[in-house]
Amino acid sequence: MKKIISILLVLQLCCFLLAPSLALEATLPNAQLGREVAASAAALSAMADTSMKVEISAKASILMEASSGQVLMAQNEKEKLYPASVTKIMSMLLVCEAIESGQISLTDRVAASENACSMGGSQIWLEPGEEMSVDELLKATAVYSANDACTLLGEYVAGSEEAFVERMNARAKELGMNDTHFVNCTGLDDTTDEHLTTAYDIALMARELIKHPIIKEYSTIWMDSLRGGETQLVNTNKLVRSYKGITGLKTGTTDKAGCCVCATAERDGLSLIAVVMGSENSNLRFEGAKTLLDWGFSNYECFTPTVDRTDWQPVRVIGGTKEKLLPDVPEMQPVLLTRGEKEKITCRVTPDAEVSAPVEKGQRVGTVEFLLGDDVLCEYPLLCQEEIPKISFWGFLRKIINSDEEK
């Protein structure tokens, strides 16, 4: 008799409990898997002033934080100028992408064309028909800024230098390099007035290139050789030998461009990009890049958010095969901070009190916020780690009966 009464009560409870869950289901938000970031008012105001805080002897310059693309300071960064061999950042980007996609391999042997061998300026003096590996050609391009090696790589990737340059310009548009036009893959400008870019655009393509770990295997080489030691290579970027944390990246010099450099460096998780264009001599470009990087590392630091899950409260699940769930967070990315602010950051976790089944894997079930003072520095969704189906009528009935029997 007691069991019959329990069943009748269950029928009434089902009508009461399951109906609201249907109404709630319709209002559930879609899964939000992307990172949600809102810079605090304090952080925004601190970073809004991008005027120069140091003196740089150049036509244009910029300092950018690599992970966010935040410009820390700049002068004439949108002025169109000749980039000289800094152009090769884009050439190397396309080569690295071709390698990582499997289109070409570092061990591929490439025979030198007449066109590649005819390049002037810096070169490794390729002979028509001479074979070198992609590895050797990339090393010659990154370390010694060899125009013949760079051109041969472009021909190998795209079929011809002209087709490769078309890809360079298309990739520039994809990266938002709106003030850039490439005429060749080397930066030689003695026969053109249209091969132009800006300090800002160079920083954008450098930011993309250093996302590929392979390039640092070449851009950090100080000295090496080819042809069994017969051809010596010395890096044109003198900072590789002397600057702490340097990771590259490319120099360039022509009569039209003056002396240019894009220098990248990383310390304690903070990655910076310094671009100097149009210095009167080589020492001034390196001193300018060093000054920019020094200022950035002295004034900024990176904070990578982490959370302590030990005190998290579970979220109640209404009408599901499970009664509660423990949420998780997506991968958290570094946040740029003014040096000294890291110690002021607090974390606030706000799980939803309850959620109605069915619950999708990855569905948002709360929020975790990192605060700098009273301002939200960054925000992430709390996510359900598994799919939780809605409980069936008979499943719900069995749960009530089993619970009653246990009592």
Among the options 61, 113, 122, 145, which is catalytic?
Answer: 145
| Catalytic (active site) residue 67 | no
State how far the Cα of 106 lies from the Cα of 132, in Å rounded to an integer: 10
| Catalytic (active site) residue 238 | no
Among the options 40, 85, 91, 356, which is catalytic?
Answer: 85
359 and 384 Cβ atoms separated by less than 8 Å: yes
Length of the chain equals 407
Phi, psi angles (nearest 5°) of residue 162: -65, -45
State how far the Cα of 140 lies from the Cα of 261, in Å rounded to an integer: 17
Closest residue by Cα to residue 186 from 164, 211, 156, 204: 164
Q: Report DSSP state, residue 121.
A: S
Q: Report DSSP state, residue 240.
A: H
State how far the Cα of 349 lies from the Cα of 34, in Å rounded to an integer: 18
Phi, psi angles (nearest 5°) of residue 343: -70, -15
Alpha helices in 159-198 (DSSP H): 161-174
Cα angle: 242, vertex 244, 246; to 5 degrees: 85
- The structure tokens listed for 36 are 């949600």
Q: Write out the DSSP string of 136-154.
A: HHHHHHHHH--HHHHHHHH
CA max distance for the chain = 101
- The structure tokens listed for 126 are 């390729």
State how far the Cα of 84 lies from the Cα of 192, in Å rounded to an integer: 12
State how far the Cα of 320 lies from the Cα of 24, in Å rounded to an integer: 13
Identity of the residue numbered 16:
F
Residue located via tokens 């934080």: 65
Which regions of 44-203 does DSSP assign to beta strands (E)? 60-65, 71-75, 109-111, 131-133
Among the options 40, 59, 61, 88, which is catalytic?
Answer: 88
Closest residue by Cα to residue 275 from 81, 41, 11: 81
Cα angle: 215, vertex 219, 220; to 5 degrees: 120
| Catalytic (active site) residue 88 | yes
Catalytic residue positions? 85, 88, 145
